[in-house]
Amino acid sequence: MIDENLSLDDVRAIFANDQFAYAAGCSIVEASKHHAVCEMPLMKLHQNANGGIMGGAIFTLADFALAVAMNVGQPDSVAVDNNIRYLNAPKGDKLIATARMDKAGRTLAFVTVTIVDNTGRNVAIMTATGFRKA
């Protein structure tokens, strides 16, 4: 369990071990029990062959925000099911993911992550189920 009373810098230090997310440019803006906001600047490495942003890059940010929201102040949790809907191609130069816990049960957690770009354009919505380790 990651103590919900840790400073944001301490939470960032813990999640710095998520090397793939950090290599992709993901960072934590807010982290509290049942809530997280993470962002990722859009770079050339996120582009597909046609110059658009790869779905996998968007998914990576959503999954990272999900991990923060599910683990701060709660039992260690891992995602066991994710569903993402891509709504629009990003037009800005940064993505922002906001994760909120819809329900935190004894063994399962349900989370919704919304992803927008920095122009306010809706980019994607992820719903996920997490398994909470007892």
DSSP 112-128: EEEEEETT--EEEEEEE
User: pLDDT tens digits, residue range 73-96?
Assistant: 989 999 999 999 999 999 999 999
Token pair, residue 99, equals: 């994760």
Give me the mean pLDDT over the 20-38 stretch: 97
Q: How far apart are CA 109 and CA 86, in angstroms?
A: 22
Contact 95, 26 (CB under 8 A): no
State how far the alpha carbon of 115 is from the alpha carbons of 41, 59, 133, in Å.
13, 9, 27
Give me the mean pLDDT over the 91-108 stretch: 96
**Dihedral angle computed from the Cα positions of residues 77, 13, 114 and 93, in that order, rounded to the nearest 10 degrees:** -150
User: pLDDT tens digits, residue range 59-78?
Assistant: 999 999 999 999 999 899 99
- Asked whether the predicted pLDDT for residue 1 surpasses 80, the reply is no
